[in-house]
Amino acid sequence: MSSEACLALLLDGPMQSWGYASRFERRTTALHPTRSGVLGLIAAAVGIDKHAENEASQLARFAVLRMTTMTLPRGDFRGKELPIHRMEDYHTVTGIRRASGKVDKDATVQTYRHYLLDARFGVLIEGPAALLEEVASGLRNPRWGVWLGRKSCLPATPLLAGAVGTRENVWRGLLICTGYTGNESLQQFDHVLEVAPSESGADTMEDAPIGFGRPIGERHAPRWIRRIPKSSIANPPS
């Protein structure tokens, strides 16, 4: 096997939530998986402790991985594509952290948390084959719990969509395991690419993890992406 390889993840569950700029009372979600969310899931699977002194250096090993995400819609019983819905959940929370950093144990506030419903995503991760084999091994037998953005968002299917391999074979395997023919191109799906900051149409997200155990404001670095809408697609699988 070449030193460079690919691994596919399938992110499928009743609810998903991929926050990237949500703090305090309103916790929103992106419409696609974030790098922070995916690498956080991987970190939990391989057993990286966010409270350990070497957490940042452990996470830094994954900086070489390149990530492409795509929406893989389901079809209803008539073969029509199911849209993704957004749900807002209302909470009250007691014992909050003020902007000063101090915890006020007696204060109660209202919070609103957003979730995606009927969402299904694929993720192609490319990088060194040995590192991807480590990721795959962790996801087969995770050290800690894994979820789709939040602890309440449990996966409905296995996260691994096949073995480490070439991008072409891994992409085909991901399509087949989600009910497609395997001959579809990436351009037939809404997808998000990681790009250089200078690329035309590049947008930035503060979702490249540095250390999940660091103070708020020091946990992430910027990442540049391009969101590309699908060009055309046949009826989705049922």
d(CA 83, CA 46): 33
Residue 67 pLDDT > 70: yes
pLDDT confidence tier of residue 156, bands split at 50, 70 and 90:
very high
pLDDT confidence tier of residue 96, bands split at 50, 70 and 90:
confident
User: What's the pLDDT score for residue 100?
Assistant: 75
* Domains annotated on the chain, with CATH: 4-17+32-76+119-228 (3.30.70.2660)
User: What's the pLDDT score for residue 22?
Assistant: 62
Tens of pLDDT, residues 121-137: 999 999 999 999 999 99
pLDDT confidence tier of residue 1, bands split at 50, 70 and 90:
very low
pLDDT confidence tier of residue 23, bands split at 50, 70 and 90:
low
pTM: 0.88
User: What's the pLDDT score for residue 219?
Assistant: 84
Tens of pLDDT, residues 183-238: 999 999 999 999 999 888 899 999 999 988 777 777 889 999 999 999 855 556 65
* Span 107-128, average pLDDT: 91
pLDDT confidence tier of residue 2, bands split at 50, 70 and 90:
low
